[in-house]
Copies of this chain bind each other. A is one copy, B any other.
Amino acid sequence: MTRRDAYVCGIDAAIDVVGGKWKVLILWALEGGPCRFGELRRGIPGVTEKVLASHLRELEGDSIIFREEAFEGAVRRVTYALTPLGVSLNEALGPLGAWGREHLLGERSAHHEAL
């Protein structure tokens, strides 16, 4: 998804933010609350650490998520969570998710609650 200089309309721009291969899955995972790096890696089967890290940094750059690094004693604990903007993005993705579930996935995941 090449960062476009000038957007023609809103979805155009939104798709750009959310168009990375694993980004909606990251947003989906963070819906349930903050996650650590390792939790995300395990929670999104197939994503590699490199790609996960770069996606996270892009989402952070777009102010969709924020990163919090803390040390308990000397142990690193990095947590990712949705910003208010990220929460609103997830809400805006709701109808699209419902559409996809209804028309693309068939019935088999129709009982999948969020997004």
Contact = CB atoms under 8 A, between A and B. Distances in A.
Interface of A: 1-2, 7-15, 17-19, 21, 24-25, 28, 85, 88-89, 91-105, 109, 112, 115
Q: In this complex, which of A15, A24, A115 has the most chain B Cβ atoms within 10 angstroms of its Cβ? A: A15
A92 B102 CA distance: 11
A19 B21 CA distance: 10
B92 A10 contact: no
A10 B96 contact: yes
A30 to B, nearest CB: 13
Contacts of A95: 91-96
Given A96-B14, A96-B93, A101 B21 contact: no
A-B interface, 8 closest residue pairs, ranked by CB to CB distance from nearest: A10-B100, A14-B100, A10-B101, A92-B99, A10-B97, A11-B97, A13-B104, A13-B100
Contacts of A85: 103
Contacts of A8: 25, 28
Contacts of A104: 7, 10, 13-14, 17
